[in-house]
């Protein structure tokens, strides 16, 4: 039993979606060559699954992805600390003092 070319095209585009454009075109050519007289969609999937793994190149993992968020740099951690003699520093000190008495 042979299946339609639409089924083959859908399966190839689904498995090739994660590939780079240059790898995708090579994968499509190899997929059509590998399928030849395939018996059905299940067999085609098993053939193309292994073929797709050979063309897939996983992206490099970001080194700071699993780092704690408090070690990451942002605009708030790069600013200098508030001085007690600035207006904002005096407000911060006063609010800390008031919070201490209230609770």
Residue 68 lies in a domain: no
Task: State pLDDT tens for residues 49-102.
Answer: 889 988 888 777 666 666 666 666 777 667 777 666 777 777 877 777 777 655
Residue 39 lies in a domain: yes
Task: State pLDDT tens for residues 3-26.
Answer: 677 787 888 889 888 888 888 999
Does pLDDT of 34 surpass 50?
A: yes
Residue 11 lies in a domain: yes
Q: Containing domain of residue 13, as a range?
A: 5-55
Residue 70 lies in a domain: no
Task: Tell me the pTM.
Answer: 0.53
Count of structural domains, the chain: 1
C-alpha distances (whole Å) from 80 to each of 31, 71, 76, 77 are 58, 16, 9, 8
pLDDT at 9: 83
Cβ contact 59:32 at 8 Å: no
Helix (H, G, I), strand (E, B) or coil at 36: coil
pLDDT tier at 1 (50, 70, 90 boundaries)?
very low
Residue 48 lies in a domain: yes
């Amino acid at each position: 039993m042979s299946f339609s070319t639409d089924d083959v095209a859908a399966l190839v585009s689904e498995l090739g979606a994660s590939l780079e454009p240059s790898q995708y075109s090579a994968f499509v050519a190899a997929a059509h060559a590998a399928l030849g007289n395939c018996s059905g969609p299940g067999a085609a999937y098993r053939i193309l699954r292994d073929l797709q793994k050979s063309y897939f190149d996983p992206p490099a993992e970001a080194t700071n992805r699993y780092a704690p968020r408090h070690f990451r740099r942002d605009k708030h951690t790069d600013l200098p600390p508030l001085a007690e003699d600035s207006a904002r520093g005096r407000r911060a000190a006063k609010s800390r003092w008031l919070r201490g008495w209230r609770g």
